[in-house]
Homo-oligomer: A and B are copies of this chain.
Amino acid sequence: MMNKNYTIKEYTAVMDERLKKAFPGEKDIVTEAMSYSLEAGGKRIRPVLTLEFCRLCGGDITEALPLAEAVEMVHTYSLIHDDLPCMDDDDMRRGRPSCHKQFGEAYALLAGDGLLTYAFYNIADSEFAKKNPSAAVKAVKILSECAGKDGMIGGQTIDLLSENKSISEEELRHMDALKTGMLIKAAALLGCVAAGADEDKMKAAEEFCDNLGLAFQVVDDILDVEGDESLFGKPVGSDAQSGKSTYVTLMGLEKAKQLAAALTSNAVNALIPFGEQAAFLKELALSLLTRKN
């Protein structure tokens, strides 16, 4: 794969194609369920970040592909488990029956477990890991830390603990930073690791993601009251109606819009060390701010 500049559509097409072939051979029902959810699509923002940060740091994006797949597998497992009856109890996901609605709860549980497990296999079994074992170890460490009890799972825990009660803006920010922010950060850092980027570049990537991830959530809350359908496919107004604290309920619509713009501006500024090469990520950040769904 040449290291030219890619459009988001090209990246998404590459990922969709790769993820379709993630589990070759005969499939049992759990592997079918894994593929069903992994192939359901979505914007593939996390793997796109992995690939683009790899390119931006001067790496060959072929090296980053298994890492990008691993991040999307972890993201998909978290959606499957989040949708289970004991969690959010969602029947639909991306316009299709959720995994447990399609395959039953037990198989969906195992499909989530299977995807999480395979994410690490996907890294450890890659050509990249053979050529660069210490970078692969770093990737496993970042992904497991960001997805684990002090990362995404920690955020899900706060979310469960704060059900049916209002929380402060600070608590909401902390929850979002863990629940969605950490995996977004992992995605970018894995791209840096694939390219062998230095600490300064990794710090800039973190700064970009911290702001992008939070902006993403604020915009989600705005769309929840203004838009047709939020990015995550939730019905309009579902969060606001459920009595959950959102950026909009906590600070009002106008201030929430200002916050989203300020965070996006911070994200864009974090890209300065990357120079003109960062045009893609700048555009991505701005398009997430102005998205309508």
Measured CB to CB, the residues of A under 8 A from B are: 23, 28-31, 34, 77, 81, 84-87, 104-107, 109-110, 112-114, 116-118, 120-121, 123-125, 129, 133-134, 136-138, 140-141, 143-145, 147-149, 153-154, 156-158, 160-161
Most chain-B CB neighbours within 10 Å: which of A29, A144, A158?
A144
Bound-state Cα–Cα, A84 to B34, Å: 20
Evaluate contact between B133 and A137: CB separation under 8 angstroms.
yes
Q: How far is the CB of A85 from chain B (nearest CB, A)?
A: 8
- Some 18 contacts from A to B, beta carbons below 8 A apart, are A30-B154, A31-B149, A84-B109, A86-B104, A87-B106, A107-B157, A110-B157, A110-B160, A113-B116, A114-B148, A118-B144, A118-B148, A120-B120, A121-B144, A123-B140, A124-B140, A129-B141, A137-B137
Partner of A124, one of B81, B116, B144: B144
- Residues of A contacting B: mostly: helix
Copies of this chain, tallied across the complex? 2
Bound-state Cα–Cα, A138 to B133, Å: 9
